[in-house]
Structure 1
Amino acid sequence: MLERQDGLTALIVLFLTVGMLTSFSVGVGAAEPTTDDLDDAIDDVGSYEYETETNSTSVIVQNGETQETSSEAVGNGVVDITDEKMKQITSTKTTGESALEGDRIETQVYLVDGTYYTATTVPGEDTEWIQMDVPENAGVAGGPLAEYTSLLNASDVETVDREDLNGTETYVLELDVDMDAYLEEMTSELNTTNNSMDANDTAMNSATSGSLDGLTQEMTMTLWINTETDLPIKSELVTETSMDGLGASDANNTSEAAGEIESIDTTTTQTTHYEAYNEPVDIDLPEEAENAQNLDEQLAELETGLAENNSSNIDEGDVNDSDAEELSEEATENDC
């Protein structure tokens, strides 16, 4: 009898021990990442690669008629945060009532040695490279991860599922973005990186800040986070943008043609896959970009051209006025 009691006691102890271990292991495996965990994981990233696909559809109401346009873009990029380098290549195709319908437009962006280099290639036209110095204290652009971090800091985050994504166990997070908080976050970053902005730029921003009263925007984001590293494997960002109350008398418009547009509703879905975290990367500037024109020089040339054109129009007007006066005098003499 005693032996049976000892055996039963041992069985109960074994059962409780196994149960405790099982509960402990389940608890550890189910630990969900906090926002701080995700931020810390991003802070430790020195480099990464990504592929992105963006689909956008716009519904435009103009003169009581509705027209729809859409675009599809695919791209890839490499970001070297440690050495402050990056490259991104994007190919975009537009359908709808567009002069470029069916054509693919390729855009290249490089950041090398503190300078941005950009080029846009349109079928049938030469590729023109432009360079622009990185604003002081801006550092390297973080690519998609930078936007991911800004959205994360401005959102209510909820873990809704666990999912195997191509062999990687992930947490599925949903972000409900507070647009006011997100815009404040972005404004703060812009003010930090562009503190050298002159008074003219400031005045321009002040003048235009209240000109888009009819604009509303909502954003939602889904993230697939690696359960072991707390780094994103995939993200899906959906943006809904609406512009209503457009009209010729509205401050949003500068032409009668724009005034004919009553509303524009746009839905954009951007899906990004992240990989190769902290692996060696190789980013070399294309040879044709080495002679890129400086953006400031290009703007100066454009300004000079506009000034000369305006001056020419004024001179032509003066000549016409002079001719009109002479004709008037001749007519008067003839009448006499």
Structure 2
Amino acid sequence: MLSKTTHAYAHSRSGDLQLDIYLSADRSSIDNTTPAFIYFHGGGLVAFNREFIPTHIVQSCVQRKWPLISVDYNLLPQAKGEDLVSNICDAYRFVRGNLCRIADKGDGIWENIIVGGNSAGAYMAYQAGLNLEPKPLALFCLYGPGNCMGKFWSSNHIIGNAPIEFDEVSWFLEAPMSAGHTPPDMAFYPESLLDDGRPNPDFKMPVNPEPFNEPAFLYNWLVQENKLPPLVSDIEVPYSSPAWRQLPKTIIIHGTNDQIVPYEAATNLFKAIGSETAILFTVPDAPHAFDQNLLHGDKDLEIVEQAWKALDQIVRDLKRASA
């Protein structure tokens, strides 16, 4: 069965920050040159934690026998941009320095790391590409912004049918810094998959024992009140900056009917990074988080699976180039 171990990778104002490492049952064919996939979860930078992973992401890593690492990070608004970058760097350093030992592959450095995520997690992945040294092998990003400098985040845009009142979010604004929480019925469980990555027909998803006070809509309020950009202004990089041209190979996946992070964010990123480095996969009519409950083989996941094949080709090309 897919194994999962939990490790503290850093200490912060919210306490120990943790990451989960998922390893396939058969690890005989992997070593420290095998790609490892660091995943940052979605949730608007304000919600959920490392347990919030679309199952198809795990399936894709299992099928390739790639180690998968899902990372907690401190959440806005108590955290600021510099906290996010610090979390990214600490997690990357921990994985590079410790994954060999955890996977029973000696004491070396894990050389090849892909960083990815969806929504807010994609924002984190882009920050990884901008800030990490050595650079990740590649980035794999689903419907996330590269920055929050555009009109969408600075025009009091209302997401949904009606404005969110301050009283609805005041509790979250007053709470201490945290790395989030995922309710049981939204978390990923290793036992939900068979060894080859297919769904386990005997698995039953736990029922959430109590109502979940959903913090994700705090993102909507921050957008509505133009309060998101100031929270991350210390790490934002305009699309006109040449820094985007220094990113590693990047896969961008985005739906054209996204009301949470507009599709324009993807096209702006693609132009900023450049067609020699970035590949944009457009999903017609797809809303935000269209893939959240999909599994391998689902028709609506076809374009995402094409993106994984493109990532495979990137890995092959980079291996040939370094041989």
TM-score (norm 1): 0.24
For the pair shown, the structure with the greater C-alpha radius of gyration is 1
**Structure ranking higher on relative contact order (CA contacts 8 Å, 6+ apart):** 2
